[in-house]
Structure 1
Amino acid sequence: MNNNSLATKPHYPILDGLRGVAAIIVVTFHLTEPLGTGHLDILVNHGYLAVDFFFLLSGFVIGYAYDDRWHKMSVGSFFKRRIERLQPMVVLGMILGAIGFYFTDSTIWPLIHTVPLWKMLLVMFIGFTVLPVPLSMDIRGWQEMHPLNSVTWSLFFEYIANILYAIGIRKFSNAALGLLVSVAAIALAHLAITSPNGDVSGGWTLNAEHLHIGFIRVMYPFFAGLLLSRIAKPTRIKNAFLWCSLLVALVLYMPRIGGADHLWMNGLYESVCIILVFPLIVYLGASGVIHGTTERRVCKFLGDISYPLYLVHYPLVYFYVAWISNNKGVTIVQAWPYAAMILFGSIVLAYASLKWFDEPVRKWLRKKADAKKQANHLSLTSR
């Protein structure tokens, strides 16, 4: 079977565009995060919820693309396709993080100048696999499971969801899947509302607390997206990209709810957003109708850069964070020109990475896989 035969279904261009909108908001979140004093006063306060939105989008797309094709696809071929799609940018993100590691000079990371080259390279090669490094190998000192490119933690949990889907959950009936999603929703709401910080933020450290948070964060949205792909009957909605983009921005740019005295209120807000609002946005996006070439091009561009942008922006953000830490008291007015430069530079780097690395590498991997299949086929028919 030709690998490309699995890519014949029509696309959801609006969902691609929404992924790009959320990816840009993630960058703005990481650019405002070091200017805050904690969870309560970050300007882009709920930007981290974009990860939960990505999980839901992924579950929807996986269900749509693969649910009805298991009769002609093995678990092994599914994983090969996922690795081919995800790993090239993971590798590039780690390489960029490693290159920048010794060029960030800041008191915020005192460990950097004591790390031997072999240890940094070892962390980089482990990072290529998406496997987390233990705290003993945290060469940056931020307790990250991927110290060279922090955001890769979400890919670790996405792989876990993909594995669970492929080895068993794909076989669940809609009723069984609905039960799983309901239990996961309760667990997510409990986490958000009872959290010491009143939010779902977490998942990037290799310890029991963060593994618990990361697992709960991926279980509901990913498998809710899968369920949505099975039961949703998209209609035709005009201007869906505009309205859905505004909804995504509203949710992620919403200021903190409840303050320090009522943390549970913010947890309730995040629960409602992840459990109800995000599926609604994905449904509306899947139902949307593209009007005109401009909107189609915008959605395509945003969709194309979304994944590369997510994985290449943080190595640049490390430089920005170092600058802020070396200049105590920097205000948003002073920082915004540098933040805008990082945002623009990240988008340019993402597009260059897509065109000069990600797409060529994935094309090469597909050709190699097709050649191997053809050789195996010829070998069998010649017997």
Structure 2
Amino acid sequence: MKSHFLTLDGLRGVAALAVLLFHRRWYVPGGHFLDHAYLAVDFFFGLSGFVIAHAYEQRLQQGSISLLDFVFIRAIRLYPLLVVSGALGGMAWIILGRHEPAIFLATFCAMLGLPTPFPINVGEAASADTPFPINSPTWSLFFEMAINLLYASIVRFLTLPILSMLVALSFVWLVCVSLSSSTLGHQGVYYQLLLGGIPRTAFSFFVGVGIYRAAAAGRLPAMRFPVLGLALLLIIVFSPPSSNGIWNVYYDLLCITLVFPTILVLGYQNTPSARLEDAAALCGALSYPIYLLHYPFYVWYEEFSPLSRKSSIVAAAFLVPLITYCVLKWIDEPIRTALSRRLKSAQHRAIKPDLLEGR
């Protein structure tokens, strides 16, 4: 199996840009644009399961890296930008005069990727309903870090029957909570649906692990599909207008059980053309910074820019990729490189650089 998957990198970047636009879709004429882009996080969870299993499963099973090694490696990958995005998000409200202790607590929690222990109201009316009011997208990082830790802890015992049981149980749990609340997209995002984030994350993540294992064993048929067609398919999936009805839940379940696994299988098998390789690699590199930094950007732009709030979606589409590239090259990558060297030195062993890359 290949050591790197450029098509998956490119698709991750497309999904991150879709989330960026989704969070200000109401500024588009008609008020609807990529209404189902909230499903991008479910796509991310599946990608994470595939990529994490590909990078770490054999090493964890063989003991060439320990659970503590894994925790440090993932922290080095995820935390620099998590700290930066949380600090930027909180700083905006502090500058605006919000000096109550609750804001500092919410900022501290955002920098650690943790939920706030009680509702805190910041700018938007719905902010008090979410445990992640400073940087709302970090809800998925909280659950992703938790599922990564769980996976690394049990991977030596994760036989096919146990993996199948985890997929089945998480699916049943997710169906039950989604149908009872008439929403899948809000699971894990709000206090009252926070526990629903567990099956939402676990299902897609362990499906991704299963796809990796089937691919590594050569049990999946070879299928050809144009890479740009996969990107277009992802956008089409995100595009239908959303509603709060039960049919919306059925659509979401269809996407996470059939469509996204199919895109993942096709994505790892098909390679972009030489002309698209650099673009795919760049999309992959920028996907995580875009996902974490776009929300603080909206706060800063809408609170401090002299331009109309409605222009924020256009400004973000053009400026956030540029800003995130600078942050990636000048802050994130240098910090991760320095921390990786320290980790290797502290552990007195060689931890291969490829383990420190990829979300």
**Deviations, residues 231-278 of structure 1 (Å, cap 9, x unaligned):** 13466655542121111101111223xx56xx1111111001011110
CA contact (8 A) 1:16 1:299 kept: yes
* Equivalent of residue 158 in structure 1, options 139, 144, 160: 144
CA contact (8 A) 1:238 1:289 kept: no
Aligned to 2:195: 212
Match of 1:78, as an amino acid?
F
Deviant stretches of 4+, over 6 Å: 34-37
TM-score by length of structure 1 reads 0.81
Deviation at 1:182, TM superposition (A): 1.8
Match of 1:97, as an amino acid?
G
Aligned to 1:349: 323
**How does 1:168-207 map onto structure 2 within 5 Å?**
168-169=154-155, 171-196=157-182, 198-205=183-190, 207=191
Aligned to 1:82: 74
Match of 2:269, as an amino acid?
S
CA contact (8 A) 1:239 1:289 kept: no
d(CA) in 2 for partners of 1:211 and 1:136? 13
**Cα 1:183–1:99 shift into 2, 3 Å:** same
CA contact (8 A) 2:227 2:267 kept: yes
Aligned to 2:277: 296
* Equivalent of residue 90 in structure 2, options 98, 113, 125: 98
Aligned to 1:148: 134
* Equivalent of residue 268 in structure 2, options 286, 293, 299: 286
**Cα 1:220–1:73 shift into 2, 3 Å:** same
**Cα 1:49–1:322 shift into 2, 3 Å:** farther
Deviation at 1:58, TM superposition (A): 0.5
Match of 1:313, as an amino acid?
H
Aligned to 2:355: none
SS in 2 for 1:168: helix
Aligned to 1:19: 12
d(CA) in 1 for partners of 2:224 and 2:206? 27
**Cα 1:129–1:13 shift into 2, 3 Å:** same
d(CA) in 2 for partners of 1:159 and 1:174? 23
**How does 1:212-231 map onto structure 2 within 5 Å?**
212-231=195-214
State yes or no: 1:54 paired with 2:55.
no
Deviation at 1:190, TM superposition (A): 3.1
d(CA) in 2 for partners of 1:136 and 1:255? 29
d(CA) in 1 for partners of 2:102 and 2:171? 40
Percent identity over paired residues: 33
d(CA) in 2 for partners of 1:374 and 1:265? 55
d(CA) in 2 for partners of 1:375 and 1:13? 29
d(CA) in 1 for partners of 2:29 and 2:139? 22
TM-score by length of structure 2 reads 0.86
* Equivalent of residue 99 in structure 2, options 104, 115, 122: 115
d(CA) in 1 for partners of 2:52 and 2:238? 24
Structure with the greater alpha carbon radius of gyration: 1
Aligned to 1:252: 238
Aligned to 1:363: 337
CA RMSD of aligned residues (A): 2.8
SS in 1 for 2:133: coil
* Equivalent of residue 251 in structure 2, options 263, 269, 280: 269
Aligned to 2:295: 314
State yes or no: 1:127 paired with 2:110.
yes
d(CA) in 2 for partners of 1:222 and 1:75? 18
**Cα 1:199–1:313 shift into 2, 3 Å:** same
Deviation at 1:127, TM superposition (A): 2.5
Deviation at 1:159, TM superposition (A): 1.2
d(CA) in 2 for partners of 1:119 and 1:367? 36
d(CA) in 1 for partners of 2:300 and 2:187? 22
CA contact (8 A) 1:133 1:145 kept: yes
CA contact (8 A) 1:200 1:213 kept: no
**Cα 1:230–1:375 shift into 2, 3 Å:** closer
Aligned residues: 341
d(CA) in 2 for partners of 1:237 and 1:136? 48
Match of 1:67, as an amino acid?
E
